[in-house]
Structure 1
């Protein structure tokens, strides 16, 4: 039984898109358009056509009739090529309502030019300054750690240098499309962990020290993801313990004073020994001469 691969039903771009959602839209659209063999030649990177102006009306966007080198059954006239191109551009415009229809149909010169216009609209255009925005990525409250990882990965993949970007590196043109290197993958994981919790990388180093002797950090990403909840709980417990210890140090115990206050109980030792009422101080004893009592009261 024959089977066919079908793309997801194409959807329209909205006013708010992320790098990841835009790339999903783009790849699905390219696949959908490529299913039409008449559109396929225009989807090749580097294929160009002239913008539609009064001048290009007679030159048919710069296309020429196919020659004898093309099999007769596949030959197309320049009018047919223009017709197929405008049909394809119209389809792209249908799924990209955030860009003026005339901009796509009349003012573009290649498929790469169209994607660049859309990227520029969303601020996704790849420039040297674009990579600095990586520093603005943060772990949002309530966000799943895996969602954060995918955001970081999408940004890095979108920032990889390509030979057709027009960006130089050390004043030299890029000759080959950049690929995700092992060191870049490790830095991505390290950034991911640090954004989740500043102390998490150090805990990972302690917990997985044995594995990391022979494996890279990105190689144990699955194990880290599965244990992430318990690792974060351990860090939070440690933080609470530190807070408690700090609170105890901030309020030390008061030393008990060795001073024993004098009792206010009145008792005259002279009268007590004589068996007389003694509920008075010695300085107030009437059996003492007046002069002695005054001396003791001083």
Structure 2
């Protein structure tokens, strides 16, 4: 059916971002899943062995009687389909050695991880620290910044069977984005836009925040970033103006006491007697 067709698959280039890679991966995985001969190999947890002379069937067994006879396949037949699928992936991934995908892979996830490693997208404990290097770029919209923060956190969620341990253990299930983590993303987003913005949001939305999370109010905040920033800038300008006026009065008072002179407009009036004895006017 035309409605189930994915966009035409494209090849990876030498330079990709995590976003463009994920778009490529998801489109390719969906396209492959439409072929029932490939679908089983795309299921999480399905593995095979590297292709060697000692393991020509890659550890794949014949289907048992529990599989309908019409769909039953021998190990050799399944290996043929597996090779066809791996060749398809390799065709769209010219930046990776074909043997890495066709002969040395052991699961669909191992292929994705090899590609991520090539581009430097591999999830590591150290990679998470790069979150601290995200800033609002010149001419970047606040919403674009938020999406970058969200994508980074989502990409660094722990995966079951991954290579990252947490307190000595590998998660048994994929980590989900918790409400507290969503709140942290929004808070970081506000702080990177303007360091005074979190406090203003706390004041402006104080009533709602009594019963809602910060992340729940993100859509509302997104609709009023300009007015919030204008309020911050106005308050800052007023503070600078008050400080300037206070500073002028301070210097005026000190000058008058030392010289016995008073500035009025462009003229300076001095008491001659006071000036001679060196006392304030």
Please state if 1:163 is matched with 2:160: yes
Tell me the equivalent position of 2:69: 72
What is the distance in 1 between the residues matched to 2:247 and 2:15? 50
Kindly state the Cα deviation for residue 198 of structure 1 after the two structures are TM-superposed: 0.5
Kindly state the Cα deviation for residue 229 of structure 1 after the two structures are TM-superposed: 1.2
Kindly state the Cα deviation for residue 54 of structure 1 after the two structures are TM-superposed: 3.4
Q: Over the residues paired in the alignment, what is the CA RMSD in angstroms?
A: 2.2
Q: 1:146-197 CA deviation, whole Å, 9 max, x = no partner?
A: 1111111111111112221133222233223221111111111101100111
Tell me the equivalent position of 2:270: 258
What is the distance in 2 between the residues matched to 1:106 and 1:173? 27
Kindly state the Cα deviation for residue 249 of structure 1 after the two structures are TM-superposed: 4.8
- Relative to structure 1, the CA distance from residue 223 to residue 88 in structure 2 (aligned partners, 3 Å threshold; closer, same or farther) is same
- Relative to structure 1, the CA distance from residue 240 to residue 35 in structure 2 (aligned partners, 3 Å threshold; closer, same or farther) is same
Q: 1:43-85 CA deviation, whole Å, 9 max, x = no partner?
A: 11222222223333xx322223333332221122233222211
Tell me the equivalent position of 1:205: 202
What is the distance in 1 between the residues matched to 2:14 and 2:217? 38
Matches within 5 A, 1:116-131: 116-131=113-128
- Relative to structure 1, the CA distance from residue 136 to residue 55 in structure 2 (aligned partners, 3 Å threshold; closer, same or farther) is same
- Relative to structure 1, the CA distance from residue 63 to residue 139 in structure 2 (aligned partners, 3 Å threshold; closer, same or farther) is same
**Match of residue 106, structure 2, among 104, 109, 112:** 109
TM-score of the aligned structures, taking structure 2 as reference length: 0.83
Say if 1:104 and 1:114, in contact at 8 Å, map to a contact too: yes
Tell me the equivalent position of 1:38: 37
Tell me the equivalent position of 2:211: 214
What is the distance in 2 between the residues matched to 1:141 and 1:64? 57
Kindly state the Cα deviation for residue 94 of structure 1 after the two structures are TM-superposed: 2.1
- Relative to structure 1, the CA distance from residue 219 to residue 50 in structure 2 (aligned partners, 3 Å threshold; closer, same or farther) is same
Which structure has the larger Rg over C-alpha atoms?
1
Tell me the equivalent position of 1:19: 18
Please state if 1:96 is matched with 2:93: yes
What is the distance in 1 between the residues matched to 2:20 and 2:197? 29
**Bigger shift: 139-148 or 9-18?**
9-18
Unaligned runs of 5+ in 2: 257-261, 263-268, 274-281
What is the distance in 1 between the residues matched to 2:8 and 2:93? 14
Unaligned runs of 5+ in 1: 262-298
Say if 1:33 and 1:88, in contact at 8 Å, map to a contact too: yes
Number of aligned pairs? 258
Helix, strand or coil for the counterpart of 2:223? helix
Q: 1:94-138 CA deviation, whole Å, 9 max, x = no partner?
A: 222221222211221111110111111122222222211111111
TM-score of the aligned structures, taking structure 1 as reference length: 0.79
Helix, strand or coil for the counterpart of 1:50? coil
**Match of residue 234, structure 1, among 211, 231, 235:** 231
